[in-house]
Amino acid sequence: MTRRGRRALPAIVAVLFVWLLGVSAPSANASLDAVTGGTTKMHVPWDVTLGWGKDRVFAHPIAPAGIRLFVIRNGVVGNEISFPITDGVVDSDTMLGTVNMAGGLEIVKYNSDTTPAAMPDYRLTVTEPKIIAGNTLGGNVNGAVPSSSADLINATHSKDPVTGIIHYEADASMPAPTATVLNTYFNTTVFQAGQIIGHLTADIWTAPAISLPDGYARPKAATPLYTPLVPAYRHCDTPNETHAAPMDFGSCSPPGQSSFYLTVGTPDSNGQLAQSVGSVKTSVVPDDPLTTGDESDVRYNVSITDVRDRFDLSDYPGSLRMNAKARITDGNSPAGTASANATGPLVNFPVTVPCTPTDDASIGSTCSIITTANTLNPGQVVQGKRAIYELDQVEVRDGGDDANGDTVGDDTPFMVQGLFVP
């Protein structure tokens, strides 16, 4: 992100937050349902995508959000972005409440080099999207305060009395304050107040918001977890090639790394030897029944070798940030009540990973750390609470402009969990 973009961000967050203050919440006497899952899909017509693209502005989904290209809805061709619904509380009669989703969108404006590997001049992320009160699509702007992204108009909804699924549809309209700040932020005029930017459909799974009996299904054991890491690449939103059969889907050539700052040695990419190996090993530390202390913990062992500056291939001297998101089900809600079993939202547990340059000129820096959940967040893991960690994709981000994994906003994805097939 440019310096100008950083100065504009506080104003964007402030204006959008004020816009969101008018959103209603369910009344104390409302009959509420707990949101348990489902999927939200946003169909974005091609004329919207092409209109933004005239000034090199594009939107990319952030995992676990996904995208399907060339989807036809009511005779209109467009892209369909899907977001997994995670949780929330909603009044199925009025849609007052909140439906939370995972993933998000990254909006970028590329420079005049419009190849897939082009570097963006401006970038903005909207994460943790949510349907609020049935009339607003909100999210977190660059990890900051909740903000309004779109007005939801022409909304309809119905609930299946047998399955408890709420089917919701609405048109997403660009609010005037949002259009103003986005045009200012991206130095463009492509965002138009009142423009219908897509049609949203959601199948929202619900259950009555009542107390459930104690106890929940759990395995005998589930540890350790070994997660290999591979370089992250940008999503292919505008294919210019077709992959070989049988996976003959659209593809983008050449590939563009997601990280603007880091890379690893690869002979046919940068002339360096391929020596990078990255992994995250997550393991449970059990309590010792022979002591009076609480030794229960979760250990993280992060290691990535041959980490280099993307531009001059020198050893990277900064730090990285590993994002490990998890949804916890345990017996610790509210804290201190042994029988209070509950499932929480998807929460990120970041780990800062320091990097050390090597003495060997043929290989880049080694970035590694061994730490525990309770070291980073004291009291997170408690003996006897029988916690299940549902893990999301592991992501390692670079340090951004300042090469510091502790700061956020200018960092980009460097490594993600995956496999490499030689």
Could you tell me the residue ranges of all domains in the chain? 3-208, 225-417
Q: What are phi and psi of 375, to 5 degrees?
A: -70, -45
β-bridge mates for residue 372, sequence order: 299
Judge whether residue 31 has pLDDT over 70. no
User: What is residue 124's predicted lDDT score, i.e. its pLDDT?
Assistant: 86
State whether residue 415 is helix, strand or coil: strand
Tell me the two tokens of residue 245: 């059969």
Query: Letter for the amino acid at 333?
Result: S
Percent with pLDDT over 70 in the chain: 86
- Euclidean distance between CA atoms 119 and 103, whole angstroms: 22
Across the range 24-37, mean pLDDT stands at 66
User: What is residue 1's predicted lDDT score, i.e. its pLDDT?
Assistant: 41
Q: Mind listing the pLDDT tens digit for each residue in 365-405?
A: 999 999 999 999 999 999 888 899 999 999 999 999 999 99
Q: Mind listing the pLDDT tens digit for each residue in 327-368?
A: 999 988 875 555 578 899 999 999 999 999 999 999 999 999
Across the range 181-198, mean pLDDT stands at 91
- Euclidean distance between CA atoms 387 and 391, whole angstroms: 12
The strand pair at 104-110 and 57-62 is best described as antiparallel
Q: Name the average pLDDT for the chain.
A: 86
User: What is residue 272's predicted lDDT score, i.e. its pLDDT?
Assistant: 96
- Euclidean distance between CA atoms 25 and 83, whole angstroms: 22
Judge whether residue 13 has pLDDT over 70. no
Residue corresponding to tokens 């050449």: 254
- Measured between alpha carbons, how far apart are the two ends of the chain, in Å? 35
β-bridge mates for residue 96, sequence order: none
Whether the CB-CB separation of 278 and 228 falls below 8 Å is answered with yes
Whether the CB-CB separation of 183 and 189 falls below 8 Å is answered with yes
β-bridge mates for residue 208, sequence order: 33
> Among candidates 366, 347, 363, which has minimal Cα distance to 279?
366
3-class SS letters over 134-165: CCEEEEEECCCCEEEEEEEEEEEEEECCCCCC
- Euclidean distance between CA atoms 104 and 126, whole angstroms: 5
β-bridge mates for residue 45, sequence order: 78
State whether residue 407 is helix, strand or coil: coil
Whether the CB-CB separation of 42 and 210 falls below 8 Å is answered with no
> Among candidates 400, 227, 233, which has minimal Cα distance to 320?
400
The strand pair at 76-91 and 66-73 is best described as antiparallel
Confidence of residue 62 (pLDDT cuts 50, 70, 90): very high
